[in-house]
Amino acid sequence: DIQMTQSPSTLSASVGDRVTITCRASQTISTWLAWYQQKPGKAPKLLIYKASILESGVPSGFSGSGSGTEFTLTISSLQPEDFATYYCQQYNGYPWTFGQGTKVEFK
């Protein structure tokens, strides 16, 4: 199985901060990577797919980059509604697997 490792597990930040979350795959996955945002009690929401393509309706302050085994999700200026847990997920090979999540909390 392809292991996905996110860092950090928790991130303390303030409104307006630039935030970067890293996701590493245990083997190359090309750009078959998605990023999701999840808020408590809610289903995940797709933010980015194919590593860098912004899902329709997602604010342009979110961006994704990377290929192979190293990927990043960047929030250019953290907004109050962005405090949530973020997951990366690979869909290069079965089983499709998620990172353990990164919780972005108030500093």
Which residue ranges make up the site for another protein (CB under 8 A)? 1, 32, 34, 36, 38, 43-46, 49-50, 55, 87, 89-91, 94-101
Measured from the CB of residue 49, what is the shortest distance to another protein in angstroms? 4
Measured from the CB of residue 16, what is the shortest distance to another protein in angstroms? 28
Residue ranges of alpha helices (H) inside the chain are: none
Q: Which is nearer to another protein, 14 or 94 (CB)?
A: 94
Identify the burial level of 31 via C-beta atoms within 10 angstroms of its C-beta, where 0-12 means exposed, 13-18 middle and 19 or more buried: middle
Q: Which is nearer to another protein, 19 or 32 (CB)?
A: 32
C-beta separation of 32 from 92 below 8 A: yes
